[in-house]
Structure 1
Amino acid sequence: MRIMHDLKIFIAVARLQNLTQVAHQLNLTPAATSAAIKRLEQQVGAELFVRSTRSLRLTKAGDTFLAYCQQGVDQIDEGIRQLQQQRQSFSGQLQLSVPSDLGRNLLLNWLDEFGLLHPDLHLRLYISDRLTDLYKHPVDVAIRYGHLADSSMVALPLCAENYRVLCAAPDYIAQCGELTHPLQLAEHRCLCFMLRDSTHTRWQFRQAGNPLSIDIKGDYISDDGDVVRRWAVAGRGIAFKSLLDVSEDLLSGKLRVLCADWQGESAPLSLLVPGRQQLTPVVMALRDFLTQKLQQQFDKTLATGIRR
């Protein structure tokens, strides 16, 4: 910041009352030191020094300005020091934006655990499926599904192999019949997720490298992923959910995977920050912590939660 540079030169000149000594002390030329004083005088609209060929002393305006100037520089320096200290420590506030379903049913407990490990860290959690603009909203980190559309953002993978599964409650399957092929979705009630004004009604699958895309009609539609999951658990119909979102329901038997021989579309989970400067030690620690938790959950669900 040039203004800070000029202010510090002014303070040094006011103390030593010698441009040459200040220039030598700050590793500058006398001309550069003099130019800094002139810029500052133009900005404040007053002469700060009385100059002669042999002496240099503060004017009355300069003497008044010096007290405020020193106080302001000290406060700014302290502010910079505090920011640098927070950046290198696990303290201060960390603001997170997480998806509705994943946030409530998995991340909430894990974030509590992470907070206990770092008691000086204050977490502020925003739970929503709407895509948070990290440049406009007071959010440090966003956790989101899907592939990164904004190339200016930095994305760190949390669970890259995650994918969607067809799932329904045992009561629904007992009442409406087993689904053996995705094409049979037309005969069933489908539960749909809506983001903004766009409803996810094209469900994509792959089997042995062969893709299959199906347009479905939803009897129940919500812009909250957790609501769609709750409808599925309640037996309202078939949902097409991220495996991580329904992992606990699959493990408990509240939901069952349908057409397990067909893999749903990819749903990689990532941690997003606006730029690399936001990859602070605490953000990287959070990423490592969540990556381990999510991978364990994903592997456990694949091992015991995929039932037909």
Structure 2
Amino acid sequence: MSRTGITELEIMLAVARRGTFKGAASELEMSPSAVTNAVAALEKRLGVRLFNRTTRSVALTDAGRRFTQKIAPALEMIRSASEEVSSEPNDPAGILRLNVPPESCSLWYESVLIPFLQRYPRIRVDICSQRERVDIVAEGFDAGIRLAEDIPADMIAVKLTPDLRMIVVAAPDYLDRVQAPIEPEQLSEHATLCMRMSDGSLYRWELTDQQQSYKLQGEPRFAASDLASIHKAAVAGLGIACLSEQHIAADVQEGRLVRLLPDWHVNLGALCLYYPGHRLVPPALNALTAFVRNLR
């Protein structure tokens, strides 16, 4: 849809997505003051506050959350219809808004996203990286990318990657100081490096050798909410980590990390593109799903 046709409702949804007036203004190519004024005018017309404002952020009120859940699907249908009219079957156009977990990007950018954008120059992609799962319809996204087991049952899912797994590794420097574990139960005797989940809990590795399973016990030496920090700590020799096999392939190949317990790993399943099947699918998303299926 042309930016000259942007309504107050579309502006309101952009603020909800970005969490700031400045972020919404950047997305919509408007001035922050114009975005602020549009939201204020909408609130005045509705007679209700849609956002709680602080000096640093903007958050939906309960009324604002209910309002976005109602209007987002309708506005998405309008946008999709507009894009469909302006698109040609072999040259689709439009913007594709995706919600993805930040650590997943390296697994599909080069193999899927870049060649897709090269193939369809009139399609634009806007990615929001969030570890937390969100309602992609209510939040105004066309599609999301998650592990298959995390996708709601009422969504259509298209596999982006083969099944993924995590493996147990440590740096040679750490292994020079300790005796490497030969059974999963021995991990509790070691310094471990663990992921802190978005709800504050620790992710305790659920290892399997296809016949048995083991869940990590004890407290880690180091915990972080981002995998990059755990990766760096592992390479620095601070302890044993359980990391995505694809992410650390080069480290293992070049000797910066050594795989431990080679018969054991964590099954993650496939990374999938998913979207609701009960609404009009915009041309850009149709093109992406067809592109992914043709890569198989």
Same fold (TM over 0.5): yes
Q: How does 1:263-302 map to 2 (within 5 A)?
A: 263-275=265-277, 277-278=280-281, 280-288=285-293
Which amino acid is 2:276 matched to?
P
Aligned to 2:99: 97
Per the normalisation by structure 2, the TM-score is: 0.61
- Say whether residues 1:246 and 2:248 are aligned partners: yes
Q: Could you say which structure has the larger radius of gyration?
A: 1
Aligned to 1:5: none
Q: Are 2:195 and 2:226, in contact at CA under 8 Å, matched by a contact in 1?
A: yes
Deviation at 1:146, TM superposition (A): 5.0
1:191-214 per-residue CA deviation (whole Å, 9 max, x = no partner) reads 111222243443222225122233
Distance 1:248 1:237 in 2: 19
Which amino acid is 1:181 matched to?
E
Distance 2:175 2:253 in 1: 17
Task: Work out the number of aligned pairs and report it.
Answer: 215
Aligned to 2:108: 107
Gaps of 5+ in 2: 1-77
Deviation at 1:112, TM superposition (A): 3.0
Aligned to 1:151: 153
Which amino acid is 1:107 matched to?
W
Deviation at 1:223, TM superposition (A): 1.9
1:284-304 per-residue CA deviation (whole Å, 9 max, x = no partner) reads 145337x65xxxxxxxxxxxx
Distance 2:202 2:292 in 1: 28
1:242-288 per-residue CA deviation (whole Å, 9 max, x = no partner) reads 32333343344332221011232334322221336448432214533
Residues 207 and 248 (structure 1), Cα distance of their counterparts in 2 relative to 1, 3 Å cut: same
Residues 138 and 115 (structure 1), Cα distance of their counterparts in 2 relative to 1, 3 Å cut: same
Higher mean displacement: 212-221 or 273-282: 273-282
Structure 1 counterpart of 2:261, from 249, 259, 262: 259
Distance 1:137 1:78 in 2: 15
Deviation at 1:149, TM superposition (A): 5.2
Gaps of 5+ in 1: 1-76, 293-308
Q: Are 1:87 and 1:281, in contact at CA under 8 Å, matched by a contact in 2?
A: no
The Cα RMSD (Å) is: 3.1
Distance 1:199 1:87 in 2: 48
Deviation at 1:138, TM superposition (A): 3.1
- Say whether residues 1:204 and 2:206 are aligned partners: yes
Structure with bigger helix share is 1
SS in 2 for 1:283: helix
Q: Are 2:169 and 2:260, in contact at CA under 8 Å, matched by a contact in 1?
A: yes
Deviation at 1:177, TM superposition (A): 3.5
